[in-house]
Amino acid sequence: MDSFAQLFSGFSAVLQGHNLFYLFLGCLAGTLVGVLPGIGPAAGIGLLLPITFGMDPTSALIMLAGMYYGAMYGGSTTAILINTPGEASSVMTALDGYQMARQGRAGTALAIAAISSFVAGTIGVLLLSLLATPLSEFALRFGPPEYFALMIFALSTVNSLTGGASLKGMLAIVLGLMVATVGADLQTGQPRFTFGFGGLQEGVDFVIVVIGLFAIGEVLVSLEGMVKGQTQIMSIKGRRWLSGRELRESLPPMLRGGLLGFFLGVLPGVGATVSSIAAYIAEKKLSKTPQEFGQGSIRGVAGPEAANNACTAGAMVPLLSLGIAGNSSTAVLMGAFIMFGIQPGPLLFQQRPEVVWGLINSMYLGNLMLLVLNLPLVGLFARLLRTPQGILMPLILAVSAVGAYSLNGSVFDVWIAFGFGILGYLFRKLEIPVAPLVLSLVLGRQLEQSFRQSMTMSGFEFSILVGSPVSATLLAMAAVSILTPVVVRLFRRTRRTILA
Amino acid sequence: MNTHRVAGAGGLLLGLAYLYFTAQIPAEGVTDAVGARSYPYIIGSILIVAAGALLFSRGDASTATEESSDAGKGEGLLQRFGLAAAVLLVTAIYIALLEPLGFVLSTTLYTLGLMSYFHRGHWFANVASSAGFSVISYIALVKLLGASLPAGLLAF
């Protein structure tokens, strides 16, 4: 009941004129980021961060969160109109959405994508409102060993979901932890890995890393792969709404996708892409006419779109309640919280309830705003697809430099972003996942602090890390998630050898 | 290119360098049981183990096909990385000139240069986009949002 009281009181913050304006800006920017290829929500949030300096933290976080879930709406536009998902999470939408467009039903496909996103997004935010407070109250009992175990578990699940690249994922995680050690040691004040550069004394700013890895790195790869020749963009024919029959047909997938997406989103490492794939597979299995999937089935659009939007709300649960980011976008959001001097986690609900509930309530209104934006303005967004990549990509590089410079007015930061841009490009070439590095960078300092506090409490006895049921369980789960892919691979190899 | 071997070798070198520089951190006035070096030693060691496992792992299935289809190693590398290297070189020059020339001038030249290659044959659109972006973003960021960007030669 306390959650509901705070929920309603939080609306008073969101409904202020300036916060509504920032919410609109964030949703619009997010939709644009989702529509335009070459830049994702993590990079978009990173590029928007420098201009939020000096803003009220609640307003800034409302705008940044708006970009996060706005990008999910925008990604479906390109998936449907040019068979190229604007975001990885819209890859399943392209399967049936593009077929619907080819059948002259692009307007219907875009409408169902927007409505599914709205319904599921609202379901997700409602569940977030109900679950966040109890989870944060449970987490208040956590001490340094439990936090250490929780972060190890979060990093392990992210790694296990890199599929066959778990060793490369481990490499990325450890690199992120290494970058997090750069700067003055918090306990002793000793400079570590600064090499005499004053600009590294405070450590490497994670915004710089995000700009380099996601914006510069992605653009370099996009420039290499720029498609020569024309891309056919489907025109938006037909009505931009649904018939009664179509709405009835898509309602169950919306609800199922919303619930599935939300609960998958709560798990660290499960992004919107995995959620939308799971929802598509589930709908296909439940359908009495599975052969229609891939041929323009409305359920093939409704389910995945619902899942990828509900997932964004689910991902906010561990972020706000536990201070754990489960994907790259929430990792950047977490960095934004820290930048404003706000530590996400269980104490957040007690110390800064106006920030938390303002943010959660903004998501209700943000979903409504996005529905209003996307349906009438989809034609305008579709026109943006005609922006030549040869103009767009250089501008994104320039925006990256601006963003990095304007953080501290220092060209040293631009060089750091440039260096991480090279790293991001090499990661993509070597097929090393980038998201684990960002996650471990954001969690790195906390992980070290939890570890050192635990060792101080126990006099350097490692047994304290498995001393409580919570920490022992979390570390056991981490071990299972790390070892399972290894065991499965060994089993398959042995079976192949025996059968050969 | 065997991505496992390259990533493993790179990780191994980085891990060894990291451990070397960890040993350079002074161990004086330790105020906690762990100190400033223990944690870096642990993660550096994990990196070396992971990189070693990657180096000696089986690698990608596509490796053999990729390596045999390259006409010559030098030509393959140039084709594969030449464009990115060129863009990075131009970007490095841009960053070096950002403060001396100022944001508007350097960004206009940088974006115009890239657009001239990636959107060639559309001079008017390229000039309008590059100059327009530089001027509008300078005004918006500096004058409206109070951000700090170098004025350089065109102080206004």
Distance of alpha carbon B108 from alpha carbon A372, whole angstroms: 36
Band of pLDDT at residue B28, cut at 50, 70 and 90 = low
pLDDT for res B68: 41
**Which range is least confidently modeled, A41-45, A277-281, A430-434?**
A41-45
Q: How confident is the model at residue A228 (pLDDT cuts 50, 70, 90)?
A: very low
Looking at residue B131, what is its pLDDT? 93
Q: Cα–Cα–Cα angle for A148, A151, A155, nearest 5°?
A: 140
Asked if pLDDT for residue A97 goes beyond 80, the answer is: yes
Least confident of A242-256, A359-373, A486-500, B46-60: A486-500
Looking up tokens 């950047």 gives A332
B92: confidence class by pLDDT, cuts 50, 70, 90: very high
Residue A141 has pLDDT above 60, yes or no: yes
DSSP 3-state of A183: strand
Name which of A385, A390, A388, A389 is nearest A106 in CA terms: A385
Quote the CA–CA distance of A476 and A486 in Å, as a whole number.
16
N-to-C CA span, chain B: 51
Q: Which residues on A lie below 8 Å from B89 (Cβ)?
A: none
**Most trustworthy range by pLDDT among A41-55, A347-361, B8-22:** B8-22
Residues of A317-328 as b/e, b for ≥16 C-beta within 10 angstroms? bbbbbbbbbbbb
Q: What is the DSSP letter of A36?
A: S
A224 has pLDDT over 50: yes
CB-CB contact of A303 with A113 (8 Å): no
Mean pLDDT of B14-37: 82
> Beta-strand (E) ranges in chain B?
none
Rounded mean pLDDT, B15-44: 84
Of the pLDDT bands very low, low, confident and very high (cuts 50, 70, 90), residue A38 is: low
Which of B25, B42, B91, B133 should be substituted to probe chain A, the one whose Cβ sees the most A Cβ atoms within 10 Å? B91
- Give CA angle at A87 (A81, A88), nearest 5°: 110
B118: nearest CB among A50, A226, A411: A226
| The dihedral sign for the CA sequence A62, A278, A115, A28 | positive
B43, B54, B87 ranked by CB distance to A167: nearest: B54
Residue B107 has its nearest CB partner, among A51, A190, A398, at A398
Over range A368-379, report the average pLDDT.
Answer: 79
A168 close contact with B: CB closer than 8 A: yes
Q: How many CB pairs under 8 A join A and B?
A: 167
In a 13 Å sphere around the CA of A200, the CA atoms on its Cβ side amount to 17
| Confidence at residue B71, expressed as pLDDT on a 0 to 100 scale | 41
Which range has highest mean pLDDT (A69-73, A331-335, B84-88)? B84-88
Check residue B139 and give its pLDDT. 86
What is d(CA A149, CA A159) in angstroms, rounded to the nearest whole number? 15
Q: Which residue of A has its CA nearest to B129?
A: A391
**Does pLDDT of B64 surpass 60?**
no
Check CB contact under 8 Å for A167 and B53.
yes
- Asked which of A24-38, A96-110, B9-23, B129-143 is least confident by mean pLDDT, the reply is A24-38
* pLDDT over 80 (residue A96): yes
Q: Is the pLDDT of residue A370 over 80?
A: yes
Which is nearest to A177 in space by CA: B17, B9, B15, B5? B15
Q: What is the ipTM of this complex?
A: 0.88
pTM: 0.79
pLDDT of A393 > 90? The answer is no
Q: Which of B47, B84, B149 sits opposite A406 (nearest CB)?
A: B149
Q: In a mutagenesis test of the B interface, which of A174, A389, A426 is the best target, namely the one with the most B β-carbons within 10 Å? A: A174
Contact B44 A460 (CB under 8 A): no
Which positions in chain B touch A167 (Cβ < 8 Å)? Answer: 4, 50, 53-54, 57
Provide the pLDDT for residue A202.
Answer: 84
The H or E element that residue A191 is part of is strand A191-192
Measured CA to CA, the distance from residue B79 to residue B89 in angstroms comes to 16
The pLDDT tens digits for B99-155 are 999 999 999 999 999 999 988 888 999 999 999 999 998 888 787 767 778 888 876
pLDDT at B34: 75
Contact A220 B4 (CB under 8 A): no
Residue B62 pLDDT greater than 50, yes or no: no
How many angstroms from the chain centroid is the CA of residue B25?
27
Per-residue pLDDT reduced to its tens digit, B33-48: 678 888 999 999 999 9
**How much is the pLDDT for B19?**
94
CA distance A22 to A414: 27
| pLDDT higher at B111 or A363 | B111
Contact state of B26 with A190 under an 8 Å Cβ cutoff: yes
Name the token pair of A341.
């001097």
What pLDDT, on the 0 to 100 scale, is given for residue A322? Answer: 83
**What pLDDT is attached to residue A411?**
92
